[in-house]
Structure 1
Amino acid sequence: MNKAVLGISALGLALAASAGTAFAAPDWSKVPSRKVIVFYPGPANLEWIMNGTQHGGAKGLKKGEACIGCHEDEKTRNVDIASDKILKGEKLEPKPVTGRVPTIPVTVQAANDGTNLYLRFSWKDAGGGAEKMDKDNPVKLAVMLEDNKVTAKDTRGATVQIGRAGGCWGTCHADVRTMPGGNDKKTKYVIGGSLASGNYYDLMQWQSGKGGKGVDGYVADKRVMEGGKALVKAEGKKDGDTWVVTFTRKLAGGDGDIALASGKSYNLGFAIHNDHAAGRFHHVSFGYTLGIDTKADISAAK
């Protein structure tokens, strides 16, 4: 074999190796983690949290404060939410819900390699015993990303950047399905939502049923569970008593995908449907910032 062929072969091997490492998941044992508590919110919807007579935190939202500024302890990361009372029907929930835990601690990790964003969520199985609403999926985990454009108005007409302050609460309304008195045919939505204006949430979901499935969609004027192009892979498994779910997502985006750039931060919220839960009967996070190579609540560094 001549030197030219050897050179081309060596170059090909080098390119193949670099391509392989570019899409390799990070060594999660070396990636910093952030504790996030997801909690049972009951029917607490966007209209409720924006109403100052019902929710004292509405004043803070109007000032631009994030929910975690009031509800999350900076040292322990525990949250001050009466989910136990909500489950018992003592607050918000019209009737008691049995067989569900108030909160679930989740370990969140993030990284990027210049091409892809990697997200990892792990938590101890929370047990069950509640009604099996979604018989096909013991567990689902959904992540929403937002680019500082989704807003909401309080009862006095003041504008609040709800994507930053409250995460995916910008999609949760009193009139959607499974809410008390809601429309069974109405999904999550963003008020005035549209892809063209950027007023939407990017949505990824992992479903545990039937061998596991990844969903790449968005929430604008309605929720769409398909059409996204950024999701490369969604995987999950139960390892002993611990669930581990990972997402691999391109930084670049298409229709319905938030394009992620190094040096910028975005808003992130996620929800876990535990023990065959469906609709609003999930555990949700508050809103957190996700930084791509920059400081944030959750940072995805190279």
Structure 2
Amino acid sequence: MTRRRYSLTALALALGFAAGGPAAAQAPADWSELPVHEVTLFWPGQASLQWLRSDEHAGGAQVAAGMACRTCHKDDAAELGRSIVGGGPLEPRPIEGKKPVIDLRVQAAHDDENLYLRFQWATQNPYPGVAHPHWRFDGEGWERWGAPRLHPDVWQEGGPAIYEDRLSMMLDGGSVPAFAEQGCWLSCHNSMRDMPDEPNADKVKAHPLLGEVLGKSDVRKYLAASRADEDANWEATKTPEEIAGIKVDRGFADLMQWRAHRSNPVGMADDGYVLEYRLSDAGQPVFTSNWDKDAKRPKYMFDAVKTGYRSRRADEIVERAEAGALILGENTVPFDPDLDWTEGEMVPQYVLSRAQASGSAADNMEVLGTWEDGTWTVVWVRPLDTGEPDDAVLDPGSTLTVTLAVHDDNITTRGHHVSFPLTLGLDVEADITVRKVD
């Protein structure tokens, strides 16, 4: 393979940390001195919490009674991935050539202030997945262009599969019932996007909490503890007061996501949590929509003076990967509708800003990814205690539960490779042992 290196954080390193962010923490200078933990991520298909607890699953009754997934599946993650990915009851829409597993290398350390993580994995494609859906001018107006592989626009209509690579981790300090046993499956349900019982948008919008309060039109991750019935049905939400009480008691899963298009170009990851829904932490996240709802057109375009172009075309998405993101105040100008736009010109759907990211949503200020020779290396810095009520606390001497996931090859929603729940121990022997460094 031709040696290629995409350092998408060059702009973040040159400009981002000086634009209102804290001084960069010092990650370990020599990662080779730290042990490597090999984690097998496997393709789960439509294996939801409801499926895990059902008679269709051989261990359904045991799971419903609280048995840990790894009691039966200690070393067979790769075998599970191979059995599911090609099609069958858990995979009604197999993707040709999709890898059954991703081998994730994890290294971990901490000092008195921060957790340091280093992740490495090989991508399925011979290029980094840094592209994302765009707004495309069709000669009369602007329309969405590109979609993830499981979207009907791709598998049914033959549209282009475009989506960013993503690395996610979910943390629980011990307050989420059964998370240590069943991990992220507590947040995965039949009603979610690309799952068997996905409700229509109108039904979700009419829901008194998800639609009328949260303003959502689809169902995303939620914890079983936020529902009032035994099946954790999406509609059976507990009262807002009950959910608020669960959050105060830290009964949520801390969810952090590094995104190759929507966060990496400014050296960050987003920060959220899962309880009644998959929600962003309080504050301003690193990316926002590049769409003017009233004018029905983008808000921003590329600054041609700085970039040499105002837009891109389909055949330029990968080749111009390093300059593919709109970064507010760095390579953007307000969208000009009076220019002579021609069919096929495109601008990204989102705009990024490190400077404007704020609050708990901006706690992951130092997450840097580099793609080289087919492999992503992501170095992640996370404060042990952010001081925020919507984040997990990582105390030295403690053990938490972590689940890891990678979205690869232009896909999102359930189309990820996932881990079983793992222990993360700070100065404690665990599946991933976090050693203290000076």
Length-normalised TM-score, structure 1: 0.80
Number of aligned residue pairs: give it. Answer: 267
Instruction: Name the residue aligned to 1:105.
Output: 103
- State the alpha-carbon separation in 2 of the partners of residues 49 and 81 from structure 1: 17
Q: Which amino acid aligns with 2:41?
A: V
In the alignment, what sits opposite 2:119?
121
C-alpha spacing 1:289/1:60, structure 2 compared with 1 (3 Å): farther
Residue 148 and residue 57 in structure 1: after superposition, are their counterparts in 2 closer, same or farther (change >3 A)?
farther
1:194-252 deviations in Å (ceiling 9; x for gaps): 42131111011111016265101111111113433642322212121211112110011
Asked if the contact 2:163–2:412 (Cα under 8 Å) also holds between the matched residues in 1, the reply is no
2:171 to 127, 131, 145: 145
- 5+ residue gaps, structure 1, are 1-19, 152-160
1:243 aligns with 376
Task: State the shift of 1:118 in Å.
Answer: 1.0
Match of 1:173 among 170, 186, 189: 189
Partner Cα distance (1:221, 1:241) in 2: 37
SS in 1 for 2:224: coil
**Cross-structure match for 2:50:** 47
Residue 273 (structure 1) aligned with residue 407 (structure 2): yes
SS at match of 2:84: helix
- Tell me if structure 2 keeps the 8 A contact 1:22–1:113: no
The structure showing larger relative contact order (alpha-carbon pairs under 8 Å, at least 6 residues apart) is 2
Identical positions, percent: 35
Counterpart contact for 2:78–2:101, Cα < 8 Å: no
- Determine if the alignment matches structure 1 residue 38 to structure 2 residue 54: no
Q: Distance in 1 between matches of 2:115 and 2:107?
A: 11
CA distance in 2 between partners of 1:257 and 1:84 (Å): 35
Are the structure 2 counterparts of residues 243 and 95 from structure 1 closer, same or farther at C-alpha, using a change threshold of 3 Å? Answer: same
Q: Which moved more, 1:278-287 or 1:92-101?
A: 92-101
**AA aligned opposite 2:259:** Q
The answer to whether the aligner puts 1:252 opposite 2:385 as a matched pair is yes
In structure 2, the residue matched to 1:291 is 425
Who is 1:200 aligned against?
Answer: 252
Structure 2 unaligned blocks of 5 or more:
1-21, 128-145, 150-160, 202-217, 227-245, 283-359
Deviations 1:112-137 (A, max 9, x none): 112101111101222389x9507664
Task: Kindly indicate whether residue 316 of structure 2 is the aligned counterpart of residue 300 of structure 1.
Answer: no
Partner secondary structure for residue 197 of structure 2: coil
1:209 is the counterpart of 2:264: no
Opposite residue 81 of structure 2, the aligned amino acid is S
1:280 is displaced (CA, Å) by 0.4
Helix, strand or coil for the counterpart of 1:198? coil
- Select the residue among 94, 97, 115 that pairs with 1:96: 94
Rg comparison, structure with higher value: 2
Deviation of the 1:88 alpha carbon: 2.3
Match of 2:235 in 1: none
Q: 2:148 aligns with which of 133, 138, 143?
A: 133
- For residues 186 and 49 of structure 2, what CA distance do their matches in structure 1 show? 6
CA distance in 2, matches of 1:267, 1:238: 28
The alpha-carbon deviation at position 80 of structure 1 amounts to 4.9
Aligned counterpart, 1:218: 273
- Shift of residue 96, structure 1, vs aligned partner: 2.5
**Contact kept in structure 2, 1:190 and 1:199, CA below 8 Å:** no
Is 1:84 matched up with 2:82?
Answer: yes
Query: What's the secondary structure of 2:120's corresponding residue?
Result: strand
